[in-house]
Structure 1
């Protein structure tokens, strides 16, 4: 997945600018983002603080690692079942 050029802290700062009363179009133009990107960020990070965003990133990384472990264990289990079925 493509890495964003904005960190979570920067994204939250952009969202706070708009919440402070600045027009959405002006915020987007100032930071060089599209309005679609802004609203996608708002749906994901709206109402979060910087510490919450960091925790969210950590949880997403941990979830990704656990999914990989589960996939590996399921593959091992399937191979063992296949081997045991051939023996009989």
Structure 2
């Protein structure tokens, strides 16, 4: 078995990615999607979220500023509800 095979996430993981609508965050979300994970992203940019969701129709998303504790609590609760729990943050 190759190192790449060992590093590949198992299918079905429930993944939360903050700042996930663009750049490195979106690349991480895309990698998990390709590995057959259920992915929820959050970001502060609604337009970027909309664009990411148009590229990946199975993606779940919400808007939140992770510097605000109340918004973090709400977005994590929303992700848990939509994905049935979380395995990876």
Q: TM-score range with shorter-chain normalisation?
A: under 0.3
Structure exhibiting the larger radius of gyration computed from Cα positions:
1
Length-normalised TM-score, structure 1: 0.25
